């Protein structure tokens, strides 16, 4: 099952969901700001992305700038920051449980779906 980690207030996330819906592939929508991700779920997403946790962080968010920017953070620190502050999670993320992609730009979702 494909999951999109979605924020309906975000234009790019809405575009990603439209691409997923247009594909006709079975999927579920996880509104991660209303239903926050556990640290374990975040670890699995980062692993599926194949990138450091920091890649998944929205660094322009005020909470990142005020609480985390410029500090030496471990992977665990970054995962905790995203768990405690879901607004820090880049969006949209689309995952099949083994692979994942950050859907910016939307073409990345199209490529992901083509290989799924």
Helix (H) / strand (E) containing 93: strand 93-95
pLDDT band at 12 (very low <50, low <70, confident <90, very high): very high
Does 99 participate in catalysis according to the annotation?
Answer: no
What are residue 27's DSSP bridge partners? Answer: 2
3-state SS string for 43-86: HHHHHHHCCCHHHHECCCCHHHHHHCCCCCCCHHHHHHHHHHCH
pLDDT band at 115 (very low <50, low <70, confident <90, very high): confident
Q: Which residues form the domain of 75?
A: 2-114
Q: Is the pLDDT of residue 24 over 80?
A: yes
When divided into structural domains, the chain yields a total of 1
Residue with tokens 């946790």: 53
Catalytic residue among 9, 10, 81, 88: 10
pLDDT in tens, 25-67: 999 999 999 999 999 999 999 999 999 999 999 999 999 999 9
Task: Report the pLDDT averaged over residues 89-97.
Answer: 97
CATH number for the domain harbouring residue 79: 3.40.30.10
């Amino acid at each position: 099952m494909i999951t999109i980690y979605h924020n309906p207030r975000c234009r790019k996330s809405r575009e990603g969901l439209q691409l997923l819906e247009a594909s006709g592939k079975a999927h579920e929508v996880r509104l991660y700001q209303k239903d926050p991700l556990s640290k374990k779920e975040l670890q699995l997403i980062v692993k599926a992305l194949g990138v450091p946790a920091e890649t998944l962080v929205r660094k322009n968010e005020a909470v990142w700038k005020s609480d985390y920017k410029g500090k030496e953070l471990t992977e665990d620190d970054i995962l905790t920051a995203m768990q405690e502050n879901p607004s820090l999670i880049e969006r949209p993320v689309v995952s099949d449980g083994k692979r994942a992609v950050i859907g910016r730009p939307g073409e990345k979702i199209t490529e992901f779906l083509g290989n799924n």
